[in-house]
Amino acid sequence: MSAKLLPTPENQAAIQAISYDVLLKIAPDEVEASQVFLAPLIDMAIHGEEMPSSSPDKAGGLGSVDLMAMVVIPVVVTVLSDLLVELGKVKVEEIKEERQKAREAKALKRITYEDIAPLVKRIRPASTKKEIYHLAEAVNKILLEYLE
């Protein structure tokens, strides 16, 4: 899971919408606080920049700031990037349009714990297995809803 996402306004809007909905599902109490960080974090993730660590002992660490957005956004960007590459598309909206036109939409690859655990653990080392499983399920559900 490491493809690069084209930074179009449409793709950025899709990332923001999906990330926001995932955050609402897994960390509703953080949504308001995360709003300030969404656009800069999305820009960093799209351009392949390393997310700031929530660890105060790492260079660039944010100390006590431990928002799930710092995990959700790179996971969403990575999942969408891989999906675009797999389907030979450039924009997320192309997938959405194609799925809406098709009578039977092709099943999307489900994201698993194993797919995202290394990325999540690198950004937020204190993440538990349960949190990562919950994140994977939320991303699967929200992505499917967004693309229908």
110 lies in some domain: yes
Range of the domain at 139: 9-147
47 lies in some domain: yes
Comparing 9 with 142, the larger pLDDT belongs to 142
Nearest Cα neighbor of 38 from 85, 77, 96 is 77
Please write the tens of the pLDDT for every residue from 99-109: 877 766 667 78
Q: In Å, what is the CA distance from 70 to each residue of 10, 86, 97?
A: 21, 25, 29
With b meaning 16 or more CB within 10 Å and e meaning fewer, what string describes 52-81?
A: bbbbeeeeeebeeeebbbbbbbbbbbbbbb
Percent of the chain with pLDDT over 70: 82
Please write the tens of the pLDDT for every residue from 11-56: 888 988 999 999 899 888 888 877 777 788 888 887 777 766 544 4
How many distinct structural domains can be found in the chain? 1
The pTM for the full model equals: 0.77
139 lies in some domain: yes
